[in-house]
A and B are shown apart, each in its own frame.
Chain A
Amino acid sequence: AQSVTQPDIHITVSEGASLELRCNYSYGATPYLFWYVQSPGQGLQLLLKYFSGDTLVQGIKGFEAEFKRSQSSFNLRKPSVHWSDAAEYFCAVGARRTGRRALTFGSGTRLQVQP
């Protein structure tokens, strides 16, 4: 069964600083990988996704993520954080077979941005 680990429950960075949120997955083959962001009381917005090809994926709001097969990781990065980036970030993995299409989510990383 697939699983996702986000080892950092809570991260605080200063506005303008760089950001990296960690995500490790467990899956028997190359998975589909996603990052979603959730603001308080809101739904989930897709930031970016990896299906195949270039392992460095660009997303919305200046985010990017890199798929590293050897490390089973899909870390999210942003070179300069804005105060509006404060939210909860979820990494998710999806299976490539149609019989199990639902995503498995990590427990999330809450990002706080200091002025």
Chain B
Amino acid sequence: NAGVMQNPRHLVRRRGQEARLRCSPMKGHSHVYWYRQLPEEGLKFMVYLQKENIIDESGMPKERFSAEFPKEGPSILRIQQVVRGDSAAYFCASSPSPEQTSGNTIYFGEGSWLTVV
């Protein structure tokens, strides 16, 4: 039973380029979460998605960042015109639907480390 799969694991981008991070949730999970971890800090919530819907994007920066979770395929976190401050580890997590669990345990992927040079 594969876990949450993220790719790429490491990504280097020059300032001004675009970064795309992909996340495939665990089998049977319909909820996806993206978190960002800046160096020496904890995880900060960015966005929570279900298939084709953004449920909560209260943690997303207002500009340059977007996320989607299409009907088919992985969830994508897209960062346009990257800046050095975007360098961080981006973690995806997934969980089953609320009806399938008595609590909201979420399972994390291995992370994608973005370095902006």
Contact = CB atoms under 8 A, between A and B. Distances in A.
Partners in one complex: yes
Interface of A: 32, 34, 36, 41-46, 49, 51, 90, 94-95, 98-108
Contacts of B106: 101-103
13 contacts: A32-B104, A43-B109, A45-B108, A49-B103, A49-B105, A51-B102, A51-B103, A98-B98, A101-B56, A102-B45, A103-B104, A105-B42, A107-B41
Contacts of A34: 105
B10 to A, nearest CB: 10
Interface string B82-104: 00000000010001001000111
B69 interface: no
A50 to B, nearest CB: 9
A44 B42 contact: no
Given A102-B33, A102-B45, A36 B103 contact: no
Given A51-B102, A101-B104, A102-B56, A90 B111 contact: no
B12 to A, nearest CB: 15
B108 A43 contact: yes
Interface string B33-55: 10100000111110010000001
B43 A105 contact: yes
B105 A46 contact: yes
B31 interface: yes
